[in-house]
Structure formats: structure tokens, C-alpha cells
Amino acid sequence: MKILLCFGTRPEAIKMAPLFHELQTNNVDVQVCVTAQHREMLDQVLDFFSIVPDYDLDLMQPNQSLNALSANILSKMDGVFAVAKPNLVLVHGDTTTSSIVALAAFHNGITVGHIEAGLRTYNKKAPFPEEVNRQLTSRIADIHFTPTAVATQNLLNEGILPAAIVETGNTVIDALLLAVVKIETEHYQHPEIDRLKRLIPRHKKMVLVTGHRRENFGAGFEHLCDALLSVSEREDVTIVYPVHLNPNVKDIVYEKLSDIENIYLIPPVSYPVFVWLMQQSFLIVTDSGGIQEEAPSLRKPVLVTRTVSERPEGVTAGFSILVGTDQQKISTTICSFLDGFSGFGSSINPYGTGHASQKITDYLLKHY
């Protein structure tokens, strides 16, 4: 069995890294192809998890359209498949890389496995283009590795055969637990973590903020910033915001929040630094899907700046709250947590316990 893992973005790399190492540990012939849909942020994760790609398409270009990226991926994958000759291609999640690589593999008659399959909002515009990407991949994939019972049911409702679905938990929890162990070892040092320890007041409650979704560009980010301005007036809070480099995000955030007391705008950080920030935070405000999955394992509440989420399990379990981009709702909800949150008790992360990569590998060893 020859397996080719294909991914292109930082979130994909994080979630595929533990699976890559689990396959290697079990002596599976596995190779890695990256499209580098994101370059610098992808490379940071590859370095942290000690992964050297066998094939690097290096396709990131400034202001590249989704159609141009898709065409480049589709045209380049034939050459990779011709050399790698995989029996199985594994893609992840909902990126342009995942859907187009799956299509390219299908065109070449190669079996496709989809990691983190079955997530849905059933709204083509939220998130865009991720919702359509994941649905397209589901129509192509031969094996669907779902993270939760809800995701499994979504696929069953769409007519996917039960025999093609393997419920495993989410590999992001595997990655998070590996990262926590690594950064908490005595010999681990990171200059950015050391710098942040000196910069951020440790005696205040930290609100960690991220944002990047296209559907929130414009008014959505303006309302988020206005809410953060209101919260920053509290003396017991500090707000840390690693600002996405997209001008649609960065320009608004820096215009509204620069030089505000209690607000620390910092450049995007590497994966281990972000894990450390999550550990230090009191609560997290984000539109990220991965953070919604990770935060419950760190016992951190999440305010999701979206009106719908393809990860409803966290909301149902009480780990996440959908606040959209309404300024008043965001600020009021943040303050209510700052004043009244005392922990989650014994609640279990609905997205997994850190054994997803092992379950996926066991299935592949048994059936392939």
C-alpha cells in the first residue's frame, strides 16, 4: 500500500501531521505532497512536526484567485501521481487543495480518503468556499473518516453507504496534545513565547481573538473591533489579537484598534505559539473551525463570530456560543464570561480524545 497525503494550508498540515507520523510508525509507505496554498504558515507547521514534503508544488501567489489556484493544482497533480504512484490519496477537510486534489485523483482512478469528512452548514456562502469544497470532496471520496456522530449522520443523510464511513474523532486533538507535550518540556524554548511573556500582563484575564472568514469582511470585522474597544475599557482584561495578513482584515483591525490600552495587536504566530496563547487565555473569540475543536481540550470557552457553524457539537455541549458579528452581543457575551465563568467541570471534548490518527491507521492496515 502506497499512501500520498496531500494538503496546502496550515490547518490541514496541523491535522495531517499526527496521521503522517502514525502511518510511519506502523511502517506504511507514506509520502507527502504540499500545494503550498499557504506558504510561510504551512512551513512553520511542517518544521514544528518535523515533516519534509516529498513533493512541493509551491503554488502560492499574491492575490491569486480561487480559479487560478484550482487550475494550477489540477494541472500539477498529474505529474505527482505519475511519480508517486499511490494506491490511496488522503485529503483533509474543506480547502481548495482538498477538493481539487480529490478531483485530480479521481481522474487518475486513484482511491480517495477524506479526513474530517461530513461537516456541513448547508449554506454555500457560509463558509465560502469551504462548504462547497467539502461537499464536492464527499461526492468524490471512497472512504470518509468522520470526526463526530453528527458528521457521520450528515453523510448517511446524503446517501453515503455506512460501509464507506469510519468515525474516528478529529486528528486536530491528536496534534494539540502532541504540541502541548512538546512545548511543556523543560528544554523547549521559543523566542516568540519568551517575548510574549514579557509583553502581556499575566495578572489580567486574557481574551484571545482571531478572525479570517470572507463572510465577515467589511462590516463584520468593524463590528468585532467596536466590541473589542468596548471590552478593553475594563481594567481586568487584556486582549491579544494575532491579526491575519489579509488586507480585508488587517487594514480594519489596525485602523480601529492600534495604540489602544489593553489591546495587543501582533503578527500571525506559529502553531506552538498559538497553542501557548490558548493555554494562557481566559476565553477565545474566533471564526476558526479548528479552534472550536481544540479549545474544549484546554477547557477554554469559545465565542464564535459566525451565525452558523459546521461544528455544532461544541455549541450543544456548551463549549462554544455563536455570537455572529453583532457588536452588542459580542461585547455583552464576553463580559458575562469574564464575570461569571468558572470552568467546564468534567465535560468531555466532543471532537475527540487524541486517538483519531490511530483509528484511521488501524482501519487502513486492516482494509488496504
Please tell me the distance from the alpha carbon of residue 190 to that of residue 60, in angstroms, as a whole number.
27
Whether 224 contacts 243, CB under 8 Å? no
Q: What's the pLDDT score for residue 229? A: 97
262 in the same domain as 225: yes
336 in the same domain as 357: no
Catalytic (active-site) positions: 94, 116, 130, 212, 214, 244
Please tell me the distance from the alpha carbon of residue 264 to that of residue 251, in angstroms, as a whole number.
15
Q: What's the pLDDT score for residue 341? A: 95
Domain span holding position 291? 191-340
Q: What's the pLDDT score for residue 41? A: 82
285 in the same domain as 143: no
- Torsion, Cα 332 336 337 341, to 10 degrees, reads -170
- Reference 306, options 289, 294, 283; nearest CA is 289
Q: What's the pLDDT score for residue 88? A: 98
CATH number at residue 265: 3.40.50.2000
Which residues on adjacent β-strands are paired with residue 90?
Answer: 5, 113
In a domain, 347, yes or no: no
Residue 106, SS3 per DSSP: helix
- Reference 172, options 16, 20, 9, 348; nearest CA is 16
Domain count, the chain: 2
Please tell me the distance from the alpha carbon of residue 331 to that of residue 81, in angstroms, as a whole number.
50
- Reference 351, options 172, 131, 176; nearest CA is 172
- The angle that helices 219-231 and 327-340 make with each other, rounded to 10 degrees, is 40
Q: What's the pLDDT score for residue 246? A: 86
The amino acid occupying position 183 is I
- Reference 262, options 282, 227, 235, 284; nearest CA is 235
Residue 52, SS3 per DSSP: coil
Q: Where are the alpha helices (DSSP H) in 161-270?
A: 171-183, 191-199, 219-231, 247-257
In a domain, 185, yes or no: no
Rounded to 5°, the CA angle 173-178-180 comes to 95
243 in the same domain as 142: no
In a domain, 160, yes or no: yes
Please tell me the distance from the alpha carbon of residue 356 to that of residue 171, in angstroms, as a whole number.
5
252 in the same domain as 359: no
Question: What are the pLDDT tens digits along the chain (368 aa)?
Answer: 999 999 999 999 999 999 999 999 999 999 999 999 878 889 999 999 999 999 999 998 888 899 999 999 999 999 999 999 999 999 999 999 999 999 999 999 999 999 999 999 999 998 899 999 999 999 999 999 999 999 999 999 999 999 999 999 999 999 999 999 999 887 888 999 999 999 999 899 999 999 988 888 899 999 999 999 999 999 999 999 999 888 999 999 999 999 999 999 999 999 999 999 999 999 999 999 999 999 999 999 999 999 999 999 999 999 999 999 999 999 999 999 999 999 998 789 999 999 999 999 999 999 98
